[in-house]
Amino acid sequence: MQRAPGLSPEVEEALAEVRDDLLDRPFTDRAVAQALGHIAWSGPDLDGTWWRRRNLAEGELGQLVDVFVRGEARSERAMRKLLPDAWWRAGLVETVEGGARATGTLLPLGDDFIWTDRADRAFRGDDGIFLPDSTTYALRRGLPPEPPTRHLDLGCGSGAVAVVSAPREHMAGTHCVCVDLNPRAPAFAQRTALLSGKRLDDVRVGSAVDADALADVGPFEVVTFVLPLLVPWKGIEGGPVHTVARESSLLVDLFGALRRLLADGGLAILYCQDWVGGGPLEPALRQAFGERGLRGGFWWDCQADHAWHDNGRPLRAGVLALRADAEGPWVTLANDAPDLGVEDWWPWIRVLLGE
């Protein structure tokens, strides 16, 4: 596992200028959602091929949605008229044959600006950066309201989860570490942080379960991870499956890593499926944690129409939340939290944790 290089001071300065520019524009999460025909961003609204939806907005907002969400190109003259030079210097826009286009997707979520792949790159081969979806949103909502002293986001991608607890420049005593096996991820996560007025102290390229390589920066109060699911999105069923999703041992290995990564009483919040090589979650977790003990549960919100291969139970996906070094039962509940317009699911996560 290697530490990813940071952005140059020139790019950081340009991103700060872009952030100031964005805050003066109508490019907010609610406005972009409504431009795409939604009432507001919620979990299901970020699933499927939302970038292909018709753009209902006009004027400046309509142009920004076309360029930074739908991925459309413009003449260089039109792009220069829409955006100041800082967008080019920040690496968010590039000149191409016959015009200019965004180098990625810009998605406002809450008070953050997520910088991720364009859709045409995200699903191309094994080096695409996943677009935020309902699984990302679930972890963003499930984080504690107070930023942890140390937060580790595994499989960080564009940094959409990490940026929620990433510290602002004036915050001392907080540390956010991101890890992704995709060498393209750090550049996206770092831009997401700066566009959101935050900072990421440490971004590394490596395996999500290579816990020993993180010994110098751990242990962590909070560990998050969206496990790549084996349930394809409607409209992209023929797209490539992320390589780590094909590894049946990934979740088992991750549980062993969590035991070593979590500080005393540490919190893990994952989005995953309720199977571990064909078996239930709880026995695998308790075996991995051993004498440390744990408490928590599985809060599922999606049920597939196919079953586990060994016992015929329906395959479900949802939030797994656990507290290390705590005694208590393991519970499985259906997610009954309100969705539309709700940013905070922590009260429901606390119930799941028995707190």
Distance CA 139, CA 134 (A): 9
Percentage of the chain modeled with pLDDT above 70: 88
User: What mean pLDDT is reported for the chain?
Assistant: 87
pLDDT at 98: 82
pLDDT at 248: 54
Residue 279 tokens read as 């078996």
Percentage of the chain modeled with pLDDT above 90: 59
How do residues 25-56 score in pLDDT, each as one tens digit?
999 999 999 999 998 888 888 888 899 999 99
pLDDT at 241: 44
Q: Are 174 and 144 contacting, i.e. CB atoms less than 8 angstroms apart?
A: no
Q: Which residues pair with 302 in a beta bridge?
A: 317
Question: Residue written as tokens 């020993």?
Answer: 212
Amino acid at 238: G
pTM recorded for the entire structure:
0.92
Low-confidence ranges of the chain (pLDDT < 70): 125, 170-173, 229-249, 276-278, 304-313
pLDDT at 244: 45
Domain boundaries, the chain: 2-352
Distance CA 133, CA 81 (A): 32
207 exposure class (CB count in 10 Å sphere: 0-12, 13-18, 19+): middle
How do residues 240-252 score in pLDDT, each as one tens digit?
444 444 455 677 7
Question: Residue written as tokens 């790019």?
Answer: 11
Q: Are 288 and 259 contacting, i.e. CB atoms less than 8 angstroms apart?
A: yes
Residue 69 tokens read as 């969400």
CATH classification number, 2-352, choose in 3.40.50.150, 3.90.1170.40, 1.20.1440.230, 3.30.565.10: 3.40.50.150
Please give the radius of gyration of the chain, using alpha carbons only, rounded to the nearest integer: 20
Question: Rounded to an integer, what is the distance from CA 90 to the centroid of its chain?
Answer: 22
Q: For residue 102, give the nearest of 27, 2, 212, 10 by alpha carbon.
A: 27
